[in-house]
Amino acid sequence: MSFFKAYDMRGTFGTDFTEETVYRVGRALPRVVPGKRWLVGRDFRLTSDAVKRALVAGLVEAGADVSDLGHCTTPMVYFFTAADGYDGSVMVTASHNPPEDNGLKVSMKTALPVGYANGLGEVERLVRADTAAYDPAAPEPPAALVPDALARYVAWQKEHAPDFGDLRVAVDCSNGAAALLAADLFPGAALLNATPDGRFPNHSPNPLKAEARAQIAAFVRENGLDCGVIFDGDADRAMFVDERGEFVQPDYLIPFVAQATLRTAPPEKPVRIIHDVRTSRAAIEAIREMGCEAVMVPVGHAFAKPILRKVHALCGGELAGHYYFREFAGCDSGVLAATRILGEVARAKAKGQSFSAMVAPVARRYANSGELNYKVADKDAAIARILAVAEKELPPETGRETMDGIRVEYAEGWFNVRKSNTEPYLRLIAECDTPARLRDWVGRFQAVL
């Protein structure tokens, strides 16, 4: 598969890309993203040091002045790109991918993402035409460390975090970059897997996988805690388990992130909250019931962030556990989302309400399939078969949205089918007014896949 994706560059090191690929990317980036001042950071993957070195070599050769955050979270790169006025930045990470993978997330001035459509496609063209060889034995190119970066970042997060008082919580850092921040930002929490280790020895760095959440779920149950937070490998996503250790579907929490953010935001009308095309109707209704305007966006940070800025949204989120904040340069921050949600859970606890009870009005409103993934030979043909089933066998439509795959609305529910931008899957999600109807719809779709 190509190293160049819709949102970033990502793949298996040594197979999909090499140090030389990254060196050539570094040479290409200043030709595509204007400006000389560049910032780089890296996660704790075993190949991240070598990848960063090759990247900086290419950037410097292309005339860039490079500053280095060292080991950091992806949101730290976003934060300093915007706060310190860099022209561009690159985070060396493969986020939640397996240990053998690595990649690059590129941003331009003000931390706007550079995806395939607005720059990475041209970078790929330049890289493929480049014949320059990389010498890993060459002296390390200059890159000045950003002074006091961790302290500055922790101070900002503390200033913007609500009080979550006596909440009894566990935080699973997944042996990833969140370990840099957890002790400072979650005082009193039980910390799991809080030693950075690029092998991810205890579980996958992808908290969407049930096996990755098993440890924190059991820990919360066994210790009678109020909830648990789990971060992915680069800490741009946060997910949650309730007091029973049950996973809380991330889109159900978008209204609560909005509610927490509204508590300290200056008054404005209208208040807009972004959500992706997979978001539960219950979450959308809850946003509207708060007096806010719900704005649907395509899946992925490269699409969500520009729209958040364009419509001047306050915040928002995605099914995958990304939560975006205007005050955070319009970017996603797993830590900021976690502290905001913990603040809401603490408020609920003060009223005698558990996390699960707090979320229940959203989570139990409809029956939701969660995102289902299918490997199919021809994705377009599979989508056509699903739409044919829908038109022939489902009730009359009430609306369609085609910004990312197709989301079809009905009085009784909705479904979205789309091609993954990052993996070889067709993704399907459905939601209905009753569990029986949901089983019926999903069964009809699966019969043609």
Give residue limits of the domains in the chain.
9-147, 151-247, 250-363, 367-446
Of 294, 249, 207, 85, give the one whose Cα is nearest residue 193.
207
- Active-site entry in 48, 67, 89, 95: 95
State the pTM of this model.
Answer: 0.96
Query: What is the predicted pLDDT for the residue at 165?
Result: 84
Residue 217 backbone class (left: φ over 0; alpha: ψ -120 to 50; beta: rest): alpha
The SS3 assignment for 289 reads: helix
Identical fold at 250-363 and 367-446?
A: no
User: Where does 250-363 sit in CATH, by number?
Assistant: 3.40.120.10
CATH number of the domain at 367-446, out of 3.50.50.60, 3.30.310.50, 3.40.50.740, 3.40.50.261? 3.30.310.50
Query: What is the predicted pLDDT for the residue at 423?
Result: 74
| Residue-wise burial string across 130-152, b where 16 or more C-beta atoms lie within 10 A, e elsewhere | beeebeeeeeebebeebeebbeb
**pLDDT per position as a tens digit, 7-46:** 899 999 999 999 999 999 999 999 999 999 999 999 999 9
Query: What is the predicted pLDDT for the residue at 279?
Result: 99
| % of residues, the chain, pLDDT over 70 | 100
Q: Where is average pLDDT lowest: 140-144, 149-153, 167-171, 317-321? A: 140-144
Query: What is the predicted pLDDT for the residue at 235?
Result: 98
Evaluate if residue 422 carries a pLDDT over 80. no
Residue 252 backbone class (left: φ over 0; alpha: ψ -120 to 50; beta: rest): alpha
Name the CATH superfamily, with its identifier, for domain 151-247.
Answer: Alpha-D-Glucose-1,6-Bisphosphate, subunit A, domain 3 (3.40.120.10)
Cα distances (Å, whole numbers) of residue 217 to 182, 220, 231: 18, 5, 13
In this structure, which amino acid lies at residue 392? K
Fold of 9-147: Alpha-D-Glucose-1,6-Bisphosphate; Chain A, domain 3 (3.40.120)
Pairwise CA distance, residues 144 & 419, whole Å: 41
Pairwise CA distance, residues 169 & 61, whole Å: 47
Cα distances (Å, whole numbers) of residue 279 to 84, 147, 407, 449: 34, 40, 10, 23
The SS3 assignment for 7 reads: coil
Mean per-residue pLDDT for 364-384?
A: 96
Cα distances (Å, whole numbers) of residue 155 to 85, 148, 346, 384: 19, 11, 22, 51
Evaluate if residue 89 carries a pLDDT over 90. yes
**Catalytic residue status for 95:** yes
Using CA of residue 259, residue 262, residue 267, residue 269, what is the dihedral sign?
negative
| Residue-wise burial string across 424-440, b where 16 or more C-beta atoms lie within 10 A, e elsewhere | ebbbbbbbbeeeebbee
Structure-token pair, residue 215? 């440890």
- CA triplet 408, 324, 112: central angle to 5 degrees? 100
Evaluate if residue 447 carries a pLDDT over 60. yes
DSSP conformational letter for 72: -
Evaluate if residue 195 carries a pLDDT over 80. yes
In the structure, what pLDDT confidence band is assigned to residue 258 with cuts at 50, 70 and 90?
very high
Number of Cβ within 10 Å of residue 213's Cβ equals: 25
Q: Taking a C-beta distance cutoff of 8 angstroms, is the pair 7, 97 a contact?
A: no
In this structure, which amino acid lies at residue 104? L
Query: What is the predicted pLDDT for the residue at 40?
Result: 99
Structure-token pair, residue 423? 């993996």
Evaluate if residue 1 carries a pLDDT over 60. no
